[in-house]
């Protein structure tokens, strides 16, 4: 079996080496800081701590309590809110917790369509289906690349859901929450925002501020624009103790038993680093997305929302119909070291054959790239997809560009560790 362990290590090494020499552009991915990674492999990984700090079902949790209290304090500070729960172990689990707390099976719940960029949580085969709630879809405004505010108010007044979800996985522009908030109040619905993609931008003051714009509850994963571990979080601003109680009991024991203490500890580090570096990182992430969009647009790519400035987030969307379609293009890009994902774009009908690719700048920003690097990346896209340069030569150029950017920035101990950090045991078994 030692050979099996060697093979496993080699596969992970090969993966790490591949990403080290590539340009990762997946909008939902990021890199952990060295200190966060250290806590991921600590003894916290081996322990149980069900319940809340000071109210556990296991002994030996004093330091876990200390860390979780710090994590909660940091979350409330970073997001300027009165309620936080760091027990959901992923974004989808956080979404399930909100649905369990605030919607009964069969109830209508407002949301966006998948084709308009909604997360699969809203699908009948996702969290909505699991809870058995009925989606009430908001209309899309293609001119603004977000939901249509007036149409959404109309739909909400007709269906009168008690829970209304806002937020997308193809999230280019803020949602018109302030225009919708009076309708939520009128019908007595709780506004809920899935901030998974834009959590770090919200924290850094770069996108929108949902808790000040009319929603009461935020759910999110913590590893996209917030460069933390793969984990989940609930946040809220409410004076209703019943709402807090429902969310907490949905988080535990509703949708988790143990809440993955090592990732909770790493999240605390990510939140502390957010306080110190988050605003600068969020700002550069958005600037880089806009620069990448501009670079692609001027080279003839069909970047969505050109008349709106392409994006106000970390994400851009490119229709690749004339380049061969999203699926073929994403595959060719990955072969050339430009790693992204095919994506449904508004107007697409086939999830298996979407016309677009989604590009994001969280990771390239995290390794210190700036606007000139974005233009160089756009040039590589042009070389590969318009000028017919070979996959091999583009891949070599991508690796050369990346070679100057292999350490993590915007954190304590910046530059001290990056892709090779997995080597905890140098020798093979």
Q: Is 255 within 8 Å of 246 (Cβ atoms)? A: no
CB of 221 to ligand DSN, least distance (A): 6
Interatomic CA distance for residues 158 and 229, integer angstroms: 40
Peptide bond into 113 cis (omega under 30): no
Least distance from ligand DSN to the Cβ atom of residue 359, Å: 12
CB of 175 to ligand DSN, least distance (A): 16
Subset of 10-69 contacting ligand DSN (CB under 6 A): 28
Which helix (H) or strand (E) element contains residue 316?
strand 315-319
Closest approach, Cβ 290 to ligand DSN, in A, equals 20
Nearer to ligand DSN, 29 or 85 (CB): 29
Site track for ligand DSN across 246-275, x = CB under 6 A: ------------------------------
Nearest residue to 319 (alpha-carbon basis) of 308, 330, 309:
330
Contact flags string 154-193 toward ligand DSN, x per CB under 6 A: ---------------x------------------------
* Closer to ligand DSN by Cβ: residue 51 or 126: 126
Q: Within 13 Å, how many C-alpha atoms sit on residue 397's CB side?
A: 19
Question: Closest separation between CB of residue 231 and ligand DSN, Å?
Answer: 13
Q: Which is nearer to ligand DSN, 363 or 397 (CB)?
A: 363
Q: Between 194 and 273, whose beta carbon lies closer to ligand DSN?
A: 194
For residues 87 and 342, which CB has a smaller minimum distance to ligand DSN in the complex?
Answer: 342
List the helix and strand counts (H, then E) for the chain.
Answer: 15, 17
Tell me the closest approach of the beta carbon of residue 102 to ligand DSN, in angstroms. 20
Q: Is 119 in the site for ligand DSN (CB under 6 A)?
A: yes
Nearer to ligand DSN, 274 or 343 (CB): 343
Query: Does 91 engage in binding with ligand DSN (CB under 6 A)?
Result: yes
Please count the residues of this chain forming the interface with ligand DSN, following the rule CB under 6 A. Answer: 4
Residue 414 near residue 329 (C-beta atoms within 8 A): no
x-or-dash string of contact with ligand DSN, 294-333, rule CB under 6 A: ----------------------------------------
Give the span between the Cα atoms of 365 and 281, in whole angstroms: 7
The Cα-based distances of 305 to 202, 266, 294, 312, 315 in angstroms read 21, 36, 11, 10, 12
Helix (H, G, I), strand (E, B) or coil at 125: coil
Rounded Cα distance, 168 and 172, in Å: 9
Residue closer to ligand DSN, measured from CB, 91 or 362: 91
Q: Quick one: DSSP state of residue 57?
A: S
Residues 6+ apart with CB under 8 A from 183: 152, 153, 156, 157
Classify residue 130 by burial, with Cβ atoms within 10 Å: 0-12, 13-18, 19+.
middle
341: three-class secondary structure by DSSP: strand
Nearer to ligand DSN by C-beta: 171 or 310?
A: 171
- Which residues of this chain interact with ligand DSN, rule CB under 6 A? 28, 91, 119, 169
């Amino acid at each position: 079996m030692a050979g099996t362990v060697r093979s496993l290590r080699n596969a992970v090494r090969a993966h790490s080496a591949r990403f080290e020499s590539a340009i990762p552009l997946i909008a939902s991915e990021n890199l952990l800081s060295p200190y966060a990674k250290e806590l991921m492999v600590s003894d916290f990984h081996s322990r149980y701590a069900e319940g809340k700090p000071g109210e556990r079902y296991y002994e030996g949790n004093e330091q876990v309590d200390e860390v979780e209290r710090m994590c909660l304090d940091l979350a409330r500070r970073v997001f300027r809110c009165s309620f936080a729960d760091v027990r959901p172990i992923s974004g989808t689990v956080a979404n399930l917790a909100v649905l369990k707390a605030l919607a009964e099976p069969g109830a209508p719940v407002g949301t966006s369509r998948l084709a308009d960029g909604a997360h699969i949580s809203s699908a009948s085969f996702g969290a909505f289906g699991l809870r058995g709630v009925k989606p009430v879809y908001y209309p899309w405004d293609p001119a603004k690349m977000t939901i249509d505010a007036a149409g959404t108010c109309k739909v909400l007044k007709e269906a009168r859901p008690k829970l209304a979800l806002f937020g997308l996985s193809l999230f280019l522009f803020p949602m018109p929450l302030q225009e919708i908030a009076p309708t939520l109040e009128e019908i007595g619905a709780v506004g809920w925002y899935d901030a998974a993609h834009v959590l770090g931008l919200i924290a850094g003051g770069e996108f929108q501020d949902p808790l000040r714009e009319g929603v009461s509850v935020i759910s999110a994963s913590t590893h996209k624009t917030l460069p933390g571990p793969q984990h989940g979080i609930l946040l809220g601003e409410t004076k209703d103790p019943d709402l807090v109680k429902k969310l907490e009991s949905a988080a535990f024991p509703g949708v988790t038993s143990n809440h993955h203490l090592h990732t909770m500890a790493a999240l605390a580090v990510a939140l502390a680093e957010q306080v110190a570096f988050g605003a600068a990182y969020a700002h550069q992430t958005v600037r880089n997305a806009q620069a990448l969009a501009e670079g692609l647009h001027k080279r003839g790519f069909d970047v969505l929302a050109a008349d709106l400035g392409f994006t106000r987030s970390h994400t851009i969307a490119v229709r690749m119909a004339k380049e061969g379609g999203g699926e073929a293009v994403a595959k060719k890009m990955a072969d050339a070291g430009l790693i992204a994902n095919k994506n449904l774009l508004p107007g697409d009908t086939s999830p298996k054959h979407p016309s677009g690719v989604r590009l994001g700048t969280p990771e390239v920003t995290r390794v210190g790239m700036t606007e000139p690097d974005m233009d160089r990346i756009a040039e590589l896209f042009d070389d590969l997809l318009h000028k017919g340069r070979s996959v091999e030569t583009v891949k070599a150029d991508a690796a050369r560009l990346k070679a100057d950017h292999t350490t993590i920035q915007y954190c304590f101990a910046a530059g001290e560790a990056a892709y090779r950090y997995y080597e905890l045991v140098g020798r093979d078994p």
